[in-house]
Amino acid sequence: MRNSPRWTLRSIPDQSGRVVVVTGANSGIGYVTARELARHGAHVVLACRDPERGQAALARMRGEVPDARLELRRVDLSSLASIRKFASGWDHDRLDLLVNNAGVAMVPFALTADGFESQFGINHLGTFALTGLLLPHLLAAPDPRVVTVSSEGQRFARFDLDNLNAERGYRTAFAYVQAKRANLYFAVELQRRADAAGVRLRSMAVAPGLTRTNVLTGGANSGRGRLYVTATRLLVRVAFRPAPEGAKTSLYAATVPDLLGGGYIVPDGLLQLRGEPTRRTRERATRDTVTAERLWQLSEHLTGVTYELPAAGPTVTVPSPGGRARVR
């Protein structure tokens, strides 16, 4: 069912009183998401890896929304120590909304500080650990939500539980869409577990569609050569939508009052690349409970973060030969 094309950033209801964390809020979709939530009254914590870029984003946002209630806090999703430090330093009485936006895309092979392949380690395991460690603060809120940014590319993933951490080779695009599928599995499984525990928590995944950000040309991708960077920037400028359009699905999932948890919010156009936010109900991955449960247990083991919600399924042993984390 197609939603009204009239849903815009102005449709966001009043967010006064909500305490919000947006990861990767210094640029792109994350920046727009944080800015619009602040514009509508939320107290927004910009959770960023790079303090310098975070400070620049904070100053810019304050210029655009002079009365915004904003904070900047550092978190690096490639480091479990950084994630634990961020969570242990949380000093608000609750957390109403967590937007898991930060991530990397199509980067050359690299390992995180904890020995995980970077796309799996940052996009999924970092998100999993941060959400789990902030869960007590979320459950202290009257109507908490978790919004996790996946990708339309996840539809093309051949999800391989034996190669999540590049144990049997690394292909850039394969690793990216697999990590984004993991985001979807995580978001839906979190809702299933919250429902089973009788916890009032709404967890949703979103796909932004083709969006004009620096994720394909910045960070680790900036060193891939002048030809790659120039060609990719041209493609993004010509074929991709502005960041405010890409942020719509995140903001829709974060703010629409009667939205059901466990959903997948995507653009309603061809191949989920453009269009207005809609709840996709026929995504096969959202019904794959077996894979989602196995991924959840692997994630708990790898990160050392255990959610205080009912667990299901057998314990998984994950050996780490040579100091490098390995999934099996």
149-187: pLDDT as tens digits: 999 889 889 899 999 999 999 999 999 999 999 999 999
291 vs 314, more confident = 291
Whether 146 has a pLDDT exceeding 60, the answer reads: yes
2 vs 195, more confident = 195
Q: Which of the residues 31, 176, 264, 307 is marked catalytic? A: 176
Quote the pLDDT of residue 243.
81
Phi-psi map region of 287: left, alpha, beta (phi>0 left; psi -120 to 50 alpha):
alpha
CA distance 266 to 279: 6
Quote the pLDDT of residue 244.
84
Q: Catalytic site residue 307?
A: no
106: Cβ contacts below 8 Å, ≥ 6 apart = 172, 173, 176, 216, 221
- Tabulate helix, strand, coil % of the chain (nearest 5): 45, 15, 40
Which amino acid appears at position 108 of this protein? P
Whether 217 has a pLDDT exceeding 60, the answer reads: no
Which tens digits make up the pLDDT trace of 98-137? 999 999 998 999 999 999 999 999 999 999 999 999 999 9
Whether 223 has a pLDDT exceeding 90, the answer reads: no
Instruction: State the pairing for strand pair 97-100/264-267.
Output: unpaired
pTM of the model: 0.86
CA distance 18 to 36: 13
Whether 24 has a pLDDT exceeding 70, the answer reads: yes
Query: Across residues 218-240, what is the average pLDDT?
Result: 49
Give burial (CB, 10 Å; 0-12/13-18/19+) of 156: middle
CB 286 within 8 A of CB 109: no
Tokens at 172, concatenated: 């850039």
Which tens digits make up the pLDDT trace of 34-84? 999 999 999 999 999 999 999 999 999 999 999 999 999 999 999 999 999
Phi-psi map region of 39: left, alpha, beta (phi>0 left; psi -120 to 50 alpha):
alpha
Query: Across residues 190-218, what is the average pLDDT?
Result: 82
Quote the pLDDT of residue 320.
42
Domain 15-211+246-323, second-level architecture: 3-Layer(aba) Sandwich (3.40)
Whether 138 has a pLDDT exceeding 90, the answer reads: yes
Separation of first and last alpha carbons in the chain: 40
Query: Across residues 24-29, what is the average pLDDT?
Result: 95
CA distance 55 to 242: 23
Tokens at 258, concatenated: 């009667």
- What per-residue string of b and e applies to 73-102 under the rule 16 or more CB within 10 Å gives b? bebbbbbbebbbebbeebeeeebbbbbbbb
CA distance 66 to 85: 30
Angle at CA of residue 320, ends 107 and 116, nearest 5°: 15
Element (H, E) at 21: strand 19-23
Which tens digits make up the pLDDT trace of 252-310? 999 999 999 999 999 886 666 667 899 988 888 999 999 999 999 999 999 999 998 64
Quote the pLDDT of residue 211.
59
Quote the pLDDT of residue 231.
45
Which amino acid appears at position 34 of this protein? A
pLDDT classification of 321: cutoffs 50, 70, 90: very low
Quote the pLDDT of residue 83.
98
217 vs 274, more confident = 274
Whether 323 has a pLDDT exceeding 50, the answer reads: no
Instruction: At 241, give phi and psi (nearest 5°).
Output: -85, 160
Quote the pLDDT of residue 308.
80
Quote the pLDDT of residue 270.
67
Alpha helices by DSSP H, listed for the chain, are: 28-39, 51-64, 80-88, 118, 127-139, 172-197, 226-239, 243-246, 248-255, 289-303
